Amino acid sequence: MAPKLGILAGGGPLPGYLIESCRATGRDVFVIAFEGQADPDIIAAAPHAWVRLGAAGTALDHLRSEGVEEIVMAGPVRRPTLRELRPDRRAARFLGLGLLNKGDDGLLGAIVQTLEEEEGFRVIGADDVLMELSAPMGAFGGFQPADDIEMDIAHGVSVLRATGELDIGQAVVVQQGIVLGIEAAEGTQKLLERCGPLRREGQGGVLVKLPKPGQETRADMPTIGTDTIKAACAAGLAGIAVGAGSTLVFDLDELVKLADAEELFVTGISPTDYVEGYNTPS
- Picking from 129, 146, 168, the residue at the C-terminal end of a domain is 129
Q: How far is CA 214 from CA 1, 119, 161, 165, in A?
A: 31, 24, 10, 8
**In whole angstroms, how far apart are CA 177 and each of 100, 103, 151, 181, 209?**
36, 29, 7, 12, 16
Residue 209 · residue 275 · CB < 8 Å:
no
Average pLDDT (176-201) is 93
Instruction: State which of 86, 113, 129 marks the end of a domain.
Output: 129
Q: Are residues 176 and 62 in the same domain?
A: no
Contact criterion met (CB below 8 Å) for 65 and 59: no
Which amino acid makes up residue 280? T
Residues 32 and 143 in one domain: no
Top-confidence residue, 178 or 45: 178
- The pTM (predicted TM-score) of the whole model is 0.86
Average pLDDT, the chain: 89
List the domain range (segments joined by +) for residue 94.
5-129
On whether both 21 and 123 belong to a single domain, the answer is: yes
Is the pLDDT confidence value at 2 over 70?
Answer: yes
Of 94, 129, 164, which residue sits at a domain end? 129
Shared domain for 215 and 250, answered yes or no, is: yes
Task: Let me know whether 156 and 84 are in one domain.
Answer: no
**Contact between residue 27 and residue 46 where contact means Cβ atoms under 8 Å apart:** no
Average pLDDT rounded to a whole number, residues 77-93: 71
**Which CATH number is 188's domain given?**
3.40.140.80
Q: Specify whether the CB–CB gap between 18 and 51 falls below 8 A.
A: no
Residue 281 lies in a domain: no
152 and 36 housed in the same domain: no
- 142-173: per-residue pLDDT in tens? 999 998 999 999 999 999 999 887 878 899 99
